[in-house]
Structure 1
Amino acid sequence: MDIRGPVDPETMQAAHEQVEREAEALRLVIVSDEDADGGHRQFVKDDPAPLPYVDLSTGPAPEAAARAWMEKDAEGPVDPQALCRAALLKIADDHFVLYRRVHHAVVDGYSLALVFNRTAAVYSALARQLPAEGGAFPAFAHLVETETAYRDSRSFPRDRAHWLDTLAGHPEPVGLSGRRGGLAIGRRRTVELTPDRVGHLERAAADLGVTWSDLAVSTIAAYVGKHTGADELLLGLPTGGRLSPQVRNVPGMTMNILPLRLTVDTGLPLGAFTRRVSRTIRNVLLHSRYPTAEISREVLGEGGGRLWGPMVNVMKFDYKLDFGGSAATMRTLSIPLTIDMTVYFFQTSADGTTDVILDAHPELFTARDTDAHLEGILGLLDAIGTARPETAVRELFPPPAPVAAD
């Protein structure tokens, strides 16, 4: 969390401790237990994680030093007894970073937005010497109870039947490189979309009868379909899994990555294309609580394999990031591994500013490939943003470069 403005370390420490006690998922630990299902169990420890205060403001390059400090910490080994860690870094009197390192086993991206929003609210209340009890998170037990109830409900077998039917005779996942690789940390490229640019795309989506998230996914589907020549795709689609209002504001790990099976016809008008993608996404979301691990076991069998190629993740949050008058922006230092190419549309602040992040598998894509794909995706996104609904999708791509004669 990049905070622009003064911060009182003692007040931040108090806010941190209160939020850590409220958000039980931040205090989850995993231990070995031979008697437990899977050989492990988790429990909530009593004490909150510490918040070290690191003053880097007196060095020659404090911003670079802060990034180096965070990268070193993020690359360190994971302690099952401390799956969530935090620190407050001072870059200048009016520039601080509230750093959090969390493990996806216990917390997802949506939960981090909840935690940062709550931390800002508690800090602001304490800074004004006001009580900060209102707005506390519901108990983590709600997540456990809701998941148990889901597995015992009629929805569980219905969702299973849906996924077995949806993936019957599924195509082999294709990627932009035409090759396969194992899990790897992606080669990252990032471009920021300004609030005006995002607002324009949101209005374009509304004119097409879809959401901004639908438009972003449609862009990636069209791009991958065009450049692979495939008329059917399997894309990875992370979903929140929070269909029940009882768990909407409970920090924890509910995110589920599911296969989005799409028929890609770039001859369709843009409006029809995006609405088809939107309907398919809605259908995925209706059945988004069924675990991907179960789908993989039943669809792919013991031999394993892949349920998708490229992945697209639209992360749009309701931010309220004000620390006693000091505005903040959320940034990502690292994101999970990629098996091909992953595109994130990551909202970083309340004004709608969004980072388009491309993580490309380093063994499948060169640095030049990665730059070219990000440029192509952004170009298509802008073309979609200005196109009429009746324009064929294939007409939104630039013509191929002329081949020089010998």
Structure 2
Amino acid sequence: MASSSSLPDPAEWFPLTGAQEGIWNAQRLDPTSPYYVVGEVVEIGPGDVDPQRLADAVSEAVAETETLRLRVREHDGAAQQGVVTAADYRPEIRDLRDAPDPFALAAAVVDEQRTDMALHCAPMVERELFRYTILRLTDQHVWLVQLYHHLVIDGYSAARLSRRIAALYRAGITGKPPAPSGYRSFRELVAEDLEYRQSEQRAQDERYWVDAMTPLPPVGGREGGEKHSGGRTVHVTQTLSPQDSDRLKDLGSRAGSNWVDVLLGAYAGYVHRLTGRSDVVVALPMMVRTTTAALKTPAMAVNVLPLRVQVSAEDTAADLASKVSAAMVGVREHQRFRGEDLPGALGVPGAGGLLHGVGANVKVFNPALDFHGVPGLLRNVAGGPPEDMGLTVTPLATEQGTEIQLGFETDPARVTRDRALARLRGFVTLLRGLLSEDAPRLGAVPALEPEDLERLEHRRGSSADAAAAHESFAPVDLAEAVEQIGLRRPDEPVLVDARASLTGTELVHRTRVLSGLLMEAGVGPEDVVVLDLPRGHEMVLGMLATLLAGGAFQAL
């Protein structure tokens, strides 16, 4: 536990950085959200691990890391922060070895810690914004749980701190002094950020992003109207083999780019296949470590910016990679402009959707750690607010070569496990198809495994069944047909796209409501309703409602 620390003197308070302000405002807008607690579990073992020496290493790391000693207050309507004097901090050590299933209990403890930490950190003011817990599972396995509020730590910093703790642990075992941390003063980071925000470079970056996102890409449906449920998230993964990784790297080299560009290009192609949109936007986290101080010092600095790619069914994987590579030049050059400031700069309704819904987070750091000969593996357990299609990409070194773990973390109230898993399988299928030796075009590559395709065909019915149904088909009134959908499949999905899944009951209800509104507006026979809607469930509902109201429609 931590000992009490007095708050900084009045003269020692300084403002938040732009990155921190984004998190501060987001948490204040949604004070009950648990998603601004981020963190990892370092799974250490098998091997001889000393929990007490590990606790010593954590204590040393906290003492030398100013971002962990930040305290935040509100003063004259603005948030301020200061660094408290290093105090004696020691993580709690829990011994789970007597439990019937220590690993299951450890997973439950992590969930409990996440929930408790979210409640503790939500106000953000005048409190520690981190927590470490050491769990001893067996004589050969120890977990180091490290949780932080996003206000003080991002993914890059969490990984750097994990490596530092491992180094301090090794130094404690060997008795050799550790190398200096190289951290700079946190106030130096704040000064650099303030200088940028008042600079001409910031104005140039804003002009770049306004030009790059004008006209606004079609982002309807990416933000959604629902808040996240706040419950546990669903995490699904699939791993690319070393052979898949080699093909990615080889194609990237031949395309004059790299494997990340190939993978992002394929993902843009997959989004195109799901949505039918050629103008694809993928939200990308950027490290924004453009200065020596920012590169060396743990802090919250990550930024989310839109990657815009024009996708065609005629594109090959190499074409898509080249497009991503070209777009990334501008993203990297102008990455210091805060993504959360972009909607205001654009001044266009819906611009916030650029940073939500569809994203990709490529974690290029090595999650493997060395605790004096005992392996440790960094595993993310809290990665921020989940997105409906937020792809995570994590390279993993193995004896056979580099594997690449792909994953989706979703809110089950919005995207179920089955749906997230189906999307992930579809992307992997499409990716492997694009990496074929014959360099196929995107439109020619299937996004379904043979067994998934067979299952879909079975649901649709065999060709013989379809022919028999066609022979016995008797025309029915549209209103009756819609009602029958609700009666026959009230709780089953009947209208599905990349953003929504409507049951029969939901389809009938929403169609009735919309058609009633159209009739109240005077729509009837001889009237044409123009549907300026994205391709997807909204367009289908608009068509049905217009026809039920008695009018005709023109889809734009």
Is TM > 0.5 for Structure 1 vs Structure 2? yes
Partner of 1:328: 376
State which of 1, 20, 45 in structure 1 corresponds to 2:84: 45
Instruction: Give CA-to-partner distance per residue, 1:199-229, whole Å, 9 cap, x none.
Output: 4433332233222221221121110101111
Say which of 209, 224, 234 aligns to 2:271: 224
Cα distance change of structure 1 residues 179 and 369 upon mapping to structure 2, 3 Å threshold? farther
After superposing the two structures, state which structure 1 stretch, 307-316 or 110-119, moved more. Answer: 307-316
The answer (yes or no) to whether the contact 2:61–2:161 under 8 Å persists in 1 is yes
User: 2 CA distance for matches of 1:67 and 1:52?
Assistant: 16
**Within the alignment, does 1:90 sit opposite 2:136 as a pair?**
yes
Alpha-carbon distance change, 179 to 130 in structure 1, aligned in 2, over 3 angstroms: closer
**Inter-partner Cα distance in structure 1 for 2:397 and 2:134:** 19
**Structure 2 contact 91–132 (Cα < 8 Å) conserved:** yes
Q: CA deviation at 1:365?
A: 2.9
Q: Could you tell me whether the CA contact under 8 Å between 2:182 and 2:297 is conserved in 1?
A: no
- C-alpha displacement at 1:175, in angstroms? 6.2
Question: Where does residue 153 of structure 1 map in the other structure?
Answer: 199
1:69 aligned residue? 109
Q: How does 1:357-372 map to 2 (within 5 A)?
A: 357-372=407-422
**Distance in 2 (alpha carbons) for counterparts of 1:179 and 1:302:** 13
Residue 152 of structure 2 aligns to a residue whose secondary structure is coil
Alpha-carbon spacing, 1:358–1:102, altered in 2? closer, same or farther (3 Å): same
Q: Distance in 2 between matches of 1:378 and 1:48?
A: 48
Q: Determine if the alignment matches structure 1 residue 337 to structure 2 residue 365.
A: no
Describe the shift of the 1:82–1:278 C-alpha distance in structure 2 as closer, same or farther (beyond 3 A).
Answer: same
1:144 shift after superposition:
1.4
Moved more, 79-88 or 393-402: 393-402
**Does the 8 Å CA contact 2:366/2:396 hold for their aligned counterparts?**
no
Q: Decide whether aligned partners of structure 1 residues 319 and 335 sit closer, same or farther in structure 2, where only a CA change above 3 A counts.
A: closer
Supply the AA of the counterpart residue of 1:392: R
Shift of 1:174: 5.2
Q: Is it true that 1:306 corresponds to 2:356 in the alignment?
A: no
Q: Is the 8 A contact 1:56 1:66 kept in 2?
A: yes
Q: Secondary structure at the match of 1:132?
A: coil
Tell whether the 8 Å contact from 1:90 to 1:96 is kept in structure 2 after alignment: yes
Distance in structure 2 (CA, Å) of the matches to 1:61 and 1:397: 42
Q: Secondary structure at the match of 1:134?
A: coil
CA shift in 2, pair 1:143/1:319, >3 Å: farther
Whole-angstrom CA distance in 2 between matches of 1:78 and 1:187: 23
> What root-mean-square deviation, in Å, do the aligned CA atoms of Structure 1 and Structure 2 show?
2.5
- In 2 relative to 1, CA 86–215 (structure 1 residues): closer, same or farther, beyond 3 Å? same
Gaps of 5+ in 1: none
Q: TM-score by structure 1 length?
A: 0.90
Aligned-pair identity (%): 25
The amino acid of 2:275's aligned partner reads T
Q: Which has the higher helix share?
A: 2
Report the counterpart of residue 2 of structure 1 in structure 2.
Answer: 43
Q: Is the 8 A contact 1:85 1:101 kept in 2?
A: yes
- 1:143 alignment partner in structure 2: 189
Equivalent position to 2:305, from 252, 258, 268: 258
Question: Structure 1 CA distance, aligned partners of 2:216 and 2:294?
Answer: 33
Residues matched between the structures, number? 401
1:24 aligns to 2:59 (yes or no)? no
Does residue 383 (structure 1) correspond to residue 428 (structure 2)? The answer is no
TM-score (norm 2): 0.67
Q: Structure 2: give runs of 5+ residues left out of the alignment.
A: 1-41, 467-556
Identify the structure with bigger relative contact order (alpha carbons < 8 Å, sequence gap 6+).
1
Q: Distance in 1 between matches of 2:243 and 2:410?
A: 27
Deviates more, 1:98-107 or 1:376-385: 376-385
Q: 1:74 to 1:286 in 2, by over 3 A?
A: same
Structure 1, 43-52 or 103-112: larger mean CA deviation: 43-52
